[in-house]
Amino acid sequence: MDAITEEKTRTYPLMTRREVEHLIAEGRNIIIVNQHVLKVDAWIKYHPGGDKSIAHEIGRDATDEVTVLHSPEAQQMMNRYRIGRIEGRWRNFIPPIQGGRFRLASDSSEADNNVEEEDACPARLQNTAVSSNGSSRSTSPVPSPVFDVIEHNNSGLRARHGDDTASQRAGSVTSLSSVDEEEFDGMAFLESETRKEIKLDLDRYPSLDAATQEEIVRQYRLLYERIKAEGLFQCNYTAYAIECVRYTLLFAGFLYFLRLGWYTTSAAFLGGFWHQLVFSAHDAGHMGITHDFHTDSVIGIIIADFFGGLSLGWWKRNHNVHHIVTNFPEHDPDIEHMPFFAISHRLLGSLRSTYYDKVMEYDAAARFFIAVQHYSYYFILLFGRFNLYRLSFDYLLMGRAPKKGPAWWHWWLEIAGQAVFWTWFGYGVVYKSIPTWGSRVVFILVSHAVTAPLHLQITLSHFAMSTADLGPNESFPQKMLRTTMDVDCPQWLDFFHGGLQFQAIHHLYPRIPRHNLRRTQKLVQEFCDDVGIPYALYGFVGGNKEVIGRLAQVSRQAAILAKCQRSLAVGEDGHGHGHAHHH
């Protein structure tokens, strides 16, 4: 208690934007929370939610993200990393992981790189201000050949590198001389599509000027207090008792029909059990059940690893990034499904994923699958669970889990869980209880295919929504509501969707227990009306139509891109290029 009192009374030095930039250029991990400057170097490796989620907040005001994703105890713990304070509104930098560049204090760059005095969007300056001694910090990967060239030409084409006006953000490319003709042609088409998407969002959503975004944040924080006052963060344990009855009946059905030798029916019950169980693992991963980090983590690991063979630690690392950079094609792992799906034309440019740290190649396989993705969508979802096993193994076996800090022992528990799962499911059920290889294959395929609605529910809320990056000035609540849709369904069907039908509300306040999301919906709708943000709400069928429509749109864009490149090739044969640029 003395330490807390001392923390409250302690004063910190006032820091300028330039001083913060210098620290980041030196390689420090600096975030802004509640008007304080935090240096989280010592914590980033031990963060239970992974290092990538913090990396996307460096140089930014992360107050809202920290508040809604962490328990009060975790927020209190963060205070020990304070090194200074700021006054007034903080203008966000672009984090190094996203391509932002930062200058050392000793760098005497030309005057227009002085972010203290420049009125233009600071993001543009960051990406052009390179330290005179080569020490500017940028952990961004090598630019992808088609799209990222735009980030370095100061044209204002990308929202995050222009001023706050639609005309400037939809500007034209000024310097493409370094790109060869074939890349230029493909890029010119993709750029025009990007301009359209950005302009559409700028027309539909509130202005990105400081006053408008500050008012949205003010109302959003007031809504948080109202939700808390109405007890909507308190868990309804009676609802979880009913969930447990459902899980037990499904598991009993699986065992009963397995004993009878009705293997396909047994597999269907097991798939239903997995499908329903994942919703509670999701709740636990967000500390939405007991609100205690370790208790909910153990609940989540028992559900995910012991009963389902999936890693909760992998899910947390993946999901936290998804919650912070939702629907950003190069950053959000939840929409990075190349070569099978592309929900943004930008993925046709072989973007580099900052999450997987590799280029998502738009290669021959991707060209084949993306051409038919609006037809293959549901079929591929039938195999989604196999991909989750792969990602879980990668996380657990490649040393991606925190080895120190509060979650150091979770990896050991997960490894035990995996051993238990593959013993009871792989050996006990598939190998020992089912007599023939044909029956075993059918059992595995059916049990896993029955979980496909889960993958549909996860993708449904984001695949049809915006993938445009409107830059560092956009507030957290506006970004969440722009990139996430809710699905309207009757209350009696809530158990089937498991809370995932309220994704927009969940993205605004991830720690609200899912049984309270329907009650929260009315408050969020009022908030959206007050601040003028469109609230995306579709019926289940309507939402599916939107997703298929988006997949078909990107398929068409891929076809046009191929046509552009073929046209250019013909032009080269005839020693001319001009006709290829009318697309």
Q: Concatenate the DSSP letters of all residues of 403-422 into one string.
A: SSSTTTTHHHHHHHHHHHHI
Contact 334, 318 (CB under 8 A): yes
Q: What region, left, alpha or beta, does residue 536 occupy, with left being phi > 0 and alpha being psi -120 to 50 degrees?
A: beta
d(CA 47, CA 58): 14
Task: Kindly report the backbone phi and psi dihedral angles of residue 310, in degrees, each rounded to the nearest multiple of 5, phi listed first.
Answer: -110, 150
- CA atoms of 419 and 36, how far apart (whole Å): 44
Q: Which two tokens stand for residue 403?
A: 């080895």
> What are the tokens at 140?
């961004």
CA separation for the pair 530, 532 (Å, rounded): 6
| Helix/strand/coil for 353 | strand
pLDDT in tens, the chain (583 residues): 444 545 555 788 999 999 999 999 999 999 999 999 999 998 888 888 888 999 999 999 999 999 999 988 888 989 999 999 999 899 999 999 999 999 988 876 543 333 433 333 433 333 333 333 334 555 444 433 333 333 333 222 223 333 333 333 333 333 333 334 444 466 778 888 888 899 999 999 999 999 999 999 999 999 999 999 999 999 989 999 999 999 999 999 999 999 999 999 999 999 999 999 999 999 999 988 998 899 999 999 999 999 999 999 999 999 999 999 999 999 999 999 999 999 999 999 888 999 999 999 999 999 999 999 999 999 999 999 999 999 999 999 998 888 888 888 999 999 999 999 999 999 999 999 999 999 999 999 999 999 999 899 889 999 999 999 998 999 999 999 999 999 998 888 888 888 889 999 999 999 999 999 999 999 999 999 999 999 999 999 999 999 999 999 999 999 888 887 777 666 655 554 444 344 3
- Beta-bridged to residue 85, according to DSSP, are 14, 36
Which two tokens mark 345? 């034309």
Quickly tell me which residue has 């295919």 as its tokens: 449
Residue at 256: amino acid letter? Y
Question: Which amino acid, 353?
Answer: S
Beta pairing class for 358-359 and 352-353: antiparallel
- 3 state DSSP class of 372: coil
Give me the phi and psi of 533, to 5 degrees please: -95, 125
- φ/ψ (deg, to 5) at 338: -65, 145
Helix axes 312-324, 410-421, angle to 10 degrees: 120
Return the C-alpha torsion angle 452, 458, 460, 461, nearest 10: 170
CB 339 within 8 A of CB 497: no
Closest CA to 122 of 97, 90, 149: 90
Q: Which of 218, 206, 288 is nearest to 502 (CA)?
A: 288
CA 95 to CA 130: how far, in whole Å? 15
Length of the chain: 583
